[in-house]
Structure 1
Amino acid sequence: MEVVIAPPAQLARLAADAVEELLRSRPTAVLGLATGSSPLAVYDELARRHAQDGLSFARARAFMLDEYVGLAADHPERYRNVIEKEIASRVDFAPGAVQGPDGLADDVRAACAAYERAIVDAGGVDLQILGIGTDGHVAFNEPGSSLASRTRIKTLTRQTREDNARFFGGDVAQVPTHCLTQGLATIMSARHLVLLATGRGKAEAVHQLAEGPVSAMWPATVLQHHPHVTVLVDDAAASRLQLADYYRETFAAKPGWQGL
């Protein structure tokens, strides 16, 4: 696990660099897209590079991490609509190239199984963008989630619904109680995981992720077992890291050719 501590704008550029390097070397790459606040600056940077530098997504495919259950197809906070607004419509993904779990499916189990198959049939995710919740969840794998879990329905914790209420006018009652989410094992199947976190509110979760024991109580800690994880955090999110100075030293001394 590589931990990089830098200002938020630099973190966004670093994540975008990884995506750009992948797409320019393998235009048919499969990306994993996250929602929430953490990746927004990355999407802004990718959209800028598409518009100004010709970075193309035309042959790429993408899979979303999760989706609320029961939100109307035209609801602005339906994650498929959020992804369309924040990144898909701003670059040149082909029609149908971005897929997400079906939160309106009549048969949820079948929809989850179909989504897992779609990811496998696409050859798996090459680079997965991730955020982390204040309680250590990734995607919507809440504390207590099986470390071997696959795409499934989950009940959101009160903490997660309160954290997400800002997207629903501050009214936690408007936040759905259920979601469909890629499981931890599904996420771990991606070849490169790039996790972003900013702000002091994420500090304990980042500390547990990078330096704590692997535990279902902090689901993100399973990433310690992945062979290629990049954790991009600002000073505030890194404030609980015991090895923060070491992480800074190793990134400063990193060979330029190595990339993330």
Structure 2
Amino acid sequence: MKIIRSNNPQELGVTAGQDAAALINQAIHEEGQANVILATGTSQFETLRELITADIDWSKVVMFHLDEYIGLPVTHPASFRKYLKERFLQEVSPLKAAYLIDGETDPEAEIARLAALIQAHPIDVALVGVGENGHLAFNDPPADFTTKAPYLVVNLDDACRQQQANEGWFATAADVPAQAISMSVHQIMLSKQIICSVPGERKARAVKNSLEQPVSNLFPASILQQHPHCTFYLDTAAAALLA
């Protein structure tokens, strides 16, 4: 695991986005296509802004994403499908495939559909973030580190729901759906390369726990310590509490 520090979110996004592009192009060169995971949320704004400017043959890229609320319409401002359509898919040339999580259909059927798809597309590059409560995707503490299922239904804890409201995606925490479909920790860890972008003072405690605490499902993103090719991209504020 590596840590790359930047002065601010914009600088972080440039570095993380350029490194992600290089890894995607490497996979295309070596394998003929690249299978990627994209994260969403405010922490990913700058990284995705840089990534969409990269010289990549997107027709050779297959995209998955980490999570989606159950029961939230795709038209809702907080929908992660809407986020990716507007901030990524509409900004690049058509991908080979983009497999979005549909939280408006039967969750178990959707989980089965996505599991079959991702098992047929080993992930080359995963872009992830860390929640204020240390979650990885929507795997809130105590996260399930044992399941081998690629996706699962998760209950969102109070801290997670409050973060979504604080970031302006919902009016109040009570408006945040109670459940989501999330990629599992195990599936994320199967990625060949992981780029973890974490800007902002609000994430400083979670960053410290993720990097300095022993690996524990109470600090879900701490599992990334065990990944052989994971890089944390932090700005000064997010790294402020590190020893």
Q: If the length of structure 2 is used for normalisation, what is the TM-score?
A: 0.91
Percent identity, aligned pairs only, is 30
| Residues 171-210 of structure 1: pairs in structure 2 closer than 5 A | 171-210=172-211
Q: Does 1:78 align with 2:76?
A: no
Specify the alignment match of 1:245 in structure 2: none
Deviation at 1:117, TM superposition (A): 1.8
From the superposition, tell whether residues 73 and 11 of structure 1 become closer, same or farther in structure 2 (CA, over 3 Å): closer
Deviations 1:4-50 (A, max 9, x none): 1112222212222222213333331011110111111111112233x
Residues 169, 105 of structure 1: alpha-carbon distance in 2 compared, 3 angstrom cutoff: closer
Counterparts of 1:91 and 1:160, CA distance in 2: 30
In the alignment, the residues of structure 2 paired with residue 201 and residue 128 of structure 1 have an alpha-carbon distance, to the nearest angstrom, of 23
Return the alpha-carbon distance in structure 2 between the equivalents of residues 55 and 225 of structure 1.
29
Match of 1:143 in 2: 141
Which runs of structure 2 are paired with 1:2-81 in the superposition (5 Å)? 2-7=2-7, 8-27=9-28, 28-49=33-54, 54-81=55-82
Q: Distance in 1 between matches of 2:158 and 2:74?
A: 24
Letter in 2 for 1:143: P
Tell me the alpha carbon deviations over residues 65-100 of structure 1, each in whole angstroms, 9 at most, x when there is no partner.
Answer: 0000001232232111111111111001337x1112
Query: Counterpart of 1:222 in structure 2: which amino acid?
Result: I
Deviation at 1:169, TM superposition (A): 4.5
Q: Is the 8 A contact 1:61 1:93 kept in 2?
A: no
Deviation of 1:55 after TM superposition, in Å, equals 3.2
Structure 2 counterpart of 1:35, one-letter code: T
Shift of 1:173: 2.4
Corresponding position of 1:115: 114
Is the 8 Å Cα contact of residues 23 and 57 (structure 1) preserved in structure 2?
no
Change (3 A) 1:210 1:102: same
8 A Cα contact 1:31 1:61, kept in partner: yes
1:60 Cα offset (Å): 0.5
Counterpart CA distance in 2 for 1:140 and 1:11 is 23
Q: Per the alignment, in what secondary structure is the counterpart of residue 167 of structure 1?
A: coil
Please say if residues 170 and 176 of structure 2, whose CA atoms lie closer than 8 Å, have aligned partners that are also in contact: no
Q: Kindly indicate whether the alpha-carbon contact (under 8 Å) linking 2:210 and 2:219 is maintained by their aligned counterparts in 1.
A: yes
Structure 2 gap segments, 5+ residues each? none
Distance, in Å, in 2 between the alignment partners of 1:239 and 1:141 is 24
1:258 matched residue in structure 2: none
AA in 1 matched with 2:105: A
The residue number in structure 2 matching 1:249 is none
Deviations along 1:102-136, one digit per CA (max 9) or x if unpaired, are: 21222x223213212211112x1111111111110
Task: Please list every run of 5 or more consecutive structure 1 residues that lacks an aligned counterpart in the other structure.
Answer: 243-260
